[in-house]
Amino acid sequence: MRWRRRFRPLLSSEELSRVLTCLMMVLRQSMNKVSTTVAEVKSNAEDFDEEEIEEVIAGIREQQTIQQEVCRAVGGVARSHGAAALGPLRSIVFKAIEEHLASPHSPPHNVFLAVSMTEDVIAECGPAVAAGMPKIMAILGKGFAKGSTPGLRRCAVYALGSACSSLGQRMGPHLGQLLRVLLPMAHAAIKRDRDEAADRPPFPSPPAPTTGFIALQE
């Protein structure tokens, strides 16, 4: 397993805290840009022609790329420091996840980032994450919530697999929560996918000019 490697941490806890704080600041700024753009377009949709909508979509995709790179950087911190990074990761990254990424009204893309970063922490920090599993399970549960996408649910399932692999028997106390909360959510998500597939017309209608923009956000 990845977490069994032995190494000397590259950065002190204080240095790690500064790095992670900067990464979360970049993430919040990027998310704010996207939410501001979305609100502006939705409130003034009639003022945007098709070319301008395409520019908006390109701008949002650029910001989402930045967000994904931040996510990878957090994974890199976990990978290079292992359990030594858990303190700053919990106090800075998990706090940002709860406040900005996995809140009740977060779009699927933001929840995907939250679940992906959480999976990296589980996989790279190993059994040391056991103390934070209640909070981690709550984050992963967002991956099965109403409105989640198949890709998001797949990421959440993969993260649960990493948790079981990393924690082994330590995962035992959390299996009840897994069965009570996550599996019903998964069954509901599967039912939604089937219902949507049954209602989908065989030949979809041509999209309206703003459909791509709305779909990108949903």
Q: Distances from the Cα of 193 to the Cαs of 34, 75, 79, 180, 196, in angstroms?
A: 27, 30, 35, 21, 5
Better-scored residue on pLDDT, 216 or 16: 16
pLDDT digits over 75-128, tens only? 999 888 888 888 899 889 988 888 877 777 778 888 888 889 988 888 888 888
pTM to 2 decimal places: 0.71
| pLDDT beyond 80 at 214 | no
Confidence of residue 53 (pLDDT cuts 50, 70, 90): confident
Instruction: Give the 3-state secondary structure of residue 182.
Output: helix
- The helix-helix angle for 108-125 and 150-167 (nearest 10°) equals 20
Q: Distances from the Cα of 148 to the Cαs of 141, 156, 185, 186, 189, in angstroms?
A: 11, 10, 10, 10, 8
User: 82 and 126 in contact (C-beta within 8 Å)?
Assistant: yes
Residues ≥6 apart with Cβ < 8 Å to 157: 143, 186
